[in-house]
Structure 1
Amino acid sequence: MAGRPKQALNIVDRPLSKNKLELSTVSVSAFAFLTSEIIQYTMDNASNTTDLDERLDRIGYEVGVRNMELLSFREKVPRRKPEVLDALRFIHSTAWPHMFGKTADDLQQAAAADDEYMISDHDLPTNRYVSVPKSYGSFNPGGLVAGIIRGMLGTAGFPARVSAHFVESRDRPKPTTTFLIKLDTLVMQREALVKQQR
């Protein structure tokens, strides 16, 4: 028995990192290459920038669904958070470090509407190594991450529309990427019922 090798752990059972303080990482060059190839592939198959955004969103959505399932299992938290803010905090503080090695820079509710939230990142890795031609107008490579957020929220039971936008700032040389999250009306109705029952 001493000579028999230990059975390898299933990939889902393996820990995310060796200890809780250490994040597992991927080389920056590999990440930049993969992101650039995804964007190039979608650019080659898209007829216009709207089609390009939709294609990136679909790819990101599939990644978000699987990411939420994996993180929920590994972090031992239920996928279905009871409130919208709980799900958004999970994405901001748990999923973002898992994907990008740090928390998102900001999470806030829009002042004008109760059903809109924003997650901001000053240096989004998907945008760091991609240069967008001027002919593409307001195209944001962060559309891939917008799809990931939409997939994670949808898996958690909070369907939403998510879009990526550049926001200029005087004190920053590069624009911040802000994800505008507009929740489905059914989510807001459910939230109102939960608040009434308290």
Structure 2
Amino acid sequence: MPAPTTATATATTNNNPPTPLDFKESDTIPLPPPKPFQPSLRHPASRKSIYDRALSRPPSSTSLPAFAHLFNTLITYHHAKSASVSEIEGRLNRAGYPIGIKMLDLLLYRQGGKAVRPTRLLDLLQFVHGVLWRGLFGRAADALEQSTSKREEYMIVDNEPVVNTYISIPKEMSQLNCAAFVAGIIEGVCDASGFGTEGVSAHWGEGDEMWPGKTIFLLRFQEKVVEREEGIKAAGG
């Protein structure tokens, strides 16, 4: 009986590099290796941004031309989307409202232990007249008055609002007062403090030759706010 035969396979190794593909005759397109990441900012990473500043330290100065340019752009935007003067003022008011909500906490934080959240109506009005105005414009408002006919209405007077300094209003829109933006900020501060309002509006102070840009901010508080205040007074608070 013949001996069985076995087949042996020998493996050969080829250390030569593979033959490169001819991409002209192939559907495969080679991808270049990724480039190292390079930041697009043109200032060094060590330079601090506005987010690195301490909230407790107010800014030393603000560029008035830059503010005037931004505010003019804001007015132009809302003017293009509005059909009347009242609609423009309403849009400006709503634009300032969320700023007032944030300004309350920011100003109280910057005051540290020197200021507390207003709990009485007069304290709130003095806060708006003084602390808020200095935080926004670097000075206090010019006057704080109460209406002689309506107990829920108060007035804050600014003889020369900076928001109207570089605004040119056409004759057909002479009733427009762009300080409605500031009125929205005041309304936001009042609501965030727990003193709800029916609205805050900005009106021209007519008849004042010395201050032709004089603006009166009319604050109309809700009836329940006035009743609460009178109840505290009656209780000896």
Tell me the TM-score normalised to structure 2 length.
0.73
Tell me the TM-score normalised to structure 1 length.
0.87
Of the three residues 162, 184, 190, the one matched with 2:222 is: 184
Of the three residues 104, 109, 116, the one matched with 2:141 is: 104
Q: Look up the SS of the partner of 1:75 in the other structure.
A: helix
Map Cα deviations across residues 75-94 of structure 1 (whole Å, 9 max, x no partner): 13333x12111011011111
- Over aligned residues, Cα RMSD in angstroms? 2.0
Residue pairs, 1:1-198, within 5 angstroms: 11=53, 13-16=55-58, 24-76=60-112, 77-79=115-117, 81-160=118-197, 161-172=199-210, 174-198=212-236
In the alignment, the residues of structure 1 paired with residue 228 and residue 202 of structure 2 have an alpha-carbon distance, to the nearest angstrom, of: 26
Q: Look up the SS of the partner of 1:120 in the other structure.
A: strand
Task: Report the count of equivalent residues.
Answer: 186
Partner of residue 20, structure 1: none
Map Cα deviations across residues 51-85 of structure 1 (whole Å, 9 max, x no partner): 11111111010111111111112213333x12111
Rg larger for: 2
Structure 1 residue runs of 5 or longer lacking an equivalent are 18-23
What letter is aligned with 1:189?
A: E
What letter is aligned with 1:69?
A: D
Identity of aligned residues (%): 33
Structure 2 residue runs of 5 or longer lacking an equivalent are 1-45
